[in-house]
């Protein structure tokens, strides 16, 4: 699927790839500083092509092929990008698959579009990571200097967190109360994850109001869950879930 289209949303042109097929439409939400060309998105798109399923993947504002300055973006802005895609590109019901930060965004979107979003799949979902993902010293740097720059284990580009993003995340925290989502949810997590503790998926499952929640732990899996066996687990989980919808 080579064609790239653009959606104007909030003053930015958001790049997306949409594969036509039978619904619900599978929508992939990348993690922080990631884009729609990653291995998990590609694996799901390959599965969708094989099964004749509708699939949408896209880049948040300031990421990948979408325009905008990365350091000007916030969690609220990226939540609104998800909603714009669901509202204007997806036709009919959707199933969201969120990786890391994308798992936070999928929960925020599902709360706001409960009729359209029929199921969720989280991969090392990381809601509220602005609260627990930084030391007190790092938070003071973010607040005092306006940005925190760290080395990234996933590429050459540094990992940058701005004060605007951090404050937006703190304003959108979910885990302090029951999460009023009733659709089926599947949470995949590697127990060797050094970025998001695997126990966090258990806590998400506990907080979700839905009774149809399953947590799938991969004992030797890392944060990315991008090995062939991990991708097979992901596509198998998505396939089984979507067959029920």
Place of tokens 């993947």: 57
The answer to whether residue 223 is catalytic is yes
59, 80, 128, 193: which is the annotated catalytic residue?
Answer: 193
Nearest to 200 by CA among 175, 222, 218: 175
34, 66, 99, 100: the catalytic one is 100
The answer to whether 100 is a known catalytic residue is yes
Selected catalytic residue, list 81, 189, 223, 226: 223
The two three-digit tokens of residue 129, written as one number: 């990571």
Nearest to 78 by CA among 55, 54, 99: 99
| For helices 101-112 and 75-88, angle between their N-to-C axes, nearest 10 degrees | 60
The whole-angstrom separation of Cα 105 and Cα 31 is: 9
Q: Which residues of 157-192 are buried (b: 16+ CB within 10 A; e: fewer)?
A: eeeebbbbbbbbbeebebbeeebebebbbbbbbbee
* Count of residues making up the chain: 245
> Where in the sequence numbering do the catalytic residues fall?
100, 193, 223
């Amino acid at each position: 699927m080579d064609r790239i289209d653009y959606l104007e949303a909030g003053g930015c042109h958001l790049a997306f790839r949409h594969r036509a097929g039978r619904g619900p439409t599978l929508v992939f939400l990348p993690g922080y500083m990631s884009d729609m060309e990653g291995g998990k998105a590609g694996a799901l798109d390959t599965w969708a092509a094989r099964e004749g399923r509708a699939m949408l993947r896209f880049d948040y504002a300031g990421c990948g092929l979408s325009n905008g300055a990365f350091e000007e973006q916030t969690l609220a802005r990226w939540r609104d990008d998800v909603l714009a895609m669901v509202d204007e590109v997806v036709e009919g019901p959707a199933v969201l698959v969120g990786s890391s930060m994308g798992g936070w965004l999928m929960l925020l979107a599902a709360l706001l579009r409960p009729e359209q979003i029929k199921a969720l799949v989280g991969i090392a979902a990381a809601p509220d990571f602005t609260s627990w993902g930084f030391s007190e010293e790092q938070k003071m740097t973010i607040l005092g200097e306006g940005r925190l720059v760290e080395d990234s284990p996933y590429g050459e580009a540094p990992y940058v967190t701005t004060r605007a993003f951090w404050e937006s995340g703190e304003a959108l925290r979910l885990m302090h109360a029951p999460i009023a989502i009733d659709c089926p949810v599947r949470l995949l997590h590697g127990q060797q994850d050094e970025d998001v503790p695997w126990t966090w998926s258990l806590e998400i499952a506990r907080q979700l109001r839905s009774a149809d929640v399953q947590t799938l732990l991969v004992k030797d899996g890392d944060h990315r869950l991008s090995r062939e066996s991990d991708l097979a687990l992901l596509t198998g989980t998505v396939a089984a879930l979507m067959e029920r919808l």
